[in-house]
Amino acid sequence: MDGFILINKPKNWTSYDIIRVLKNLFNVKKIGHSGTLDPFAEGLLIVGINKATKFIEFLMNLPKEYIAKVKFGSETDTLDIDGEIINCDNNFKLNGKILEIAINDFPKNYEQIPPKFSAKKFDGKRAYELAREGRNFELKPKLVSIYDLRIESIDEVNNEAIFYLKVSSGFYVRSFARDLANKMGTFGYLLELKRIAIGNFKLEDAHSINDKEFKLISIDTALDFIEKIEILDCRKFKNGQITTYKYKDGIYRVYCDSNFLGIGKVENNLLKPLKVLT
């Protein structure tokens, strides 16, 4: 059993909860996922099983799409609904027109500071561990991109708004809530978050964790966003050998006799195996 499964992670489950249940259900040794969802969040999780786990890294950099509900006028230590309120602006009143201006002016590429309650590492420890200890530290910002951003609805009475975002890998929607609110001169945090897509994988195609049967997506099908090439010498690629291959530089799905062998990199007319299906 080798391949990928799309799972709709429910709220109040950790991503590891999903992995643990599926590992026991399928009785497999190797299993992993392509990107963590916080416990308060829900939505699409791509799970790799057995040999597919070797290829998860190629899914990590796919763009991701979310529906996010933001609360303005206050901020929690975790930047989500599970945290403790640490900042409050009782005088703030959400104005739809001002919000639209802020969205239109929000940078499409910017240096984003991850939440302190995150899995980022600082001095060799997870940031969330340091945050729980009350340590004072600053995480390094990371350049992230917003490919699409729009307002879905605005609730001025409750200082809340719902957004659709399509963003790059490594983008923290919790940080976006904080940064957008700060741009408007106030505080903000996430009330709800749903991941609805990862690349071409859609939430509507995902299974409930309670389903009795699961559709397994083959490894090469899951990677079909990567261009395909055919080679003649199967043995050398399988053995991890670099061979001559006159083609443009890039990362490719490699086939021989129509069989998927793995992922290779062409550079200066040389093909180097990166991940071999063994």
Tokens of 1: 């059993």
H or E element in which residue 187 lies:
none
Of the residues 2, 17, 38, 105, only one is catalytic, namely: 38
Q: Hey, which residues does 272 pair with through a beta bridge?
A: 265
User: How does DSSP classify residue 126?
Assistant: E
Please name the residues in contact with 239: beta carbons below 8 A apart, sequence gap of 6 or more. none
> What b-and-e string marks burial along 17-47, b requiring 16 or more CB atoms within 10 Å of the CB?
ebbeebbeeeeeeebbbbbebbbbbbbbbbb
- 117: how many CB neighbours lie within 10 A of its CB? 22
Active-site residue flag, 38: yes
Active site residue ranges: 38
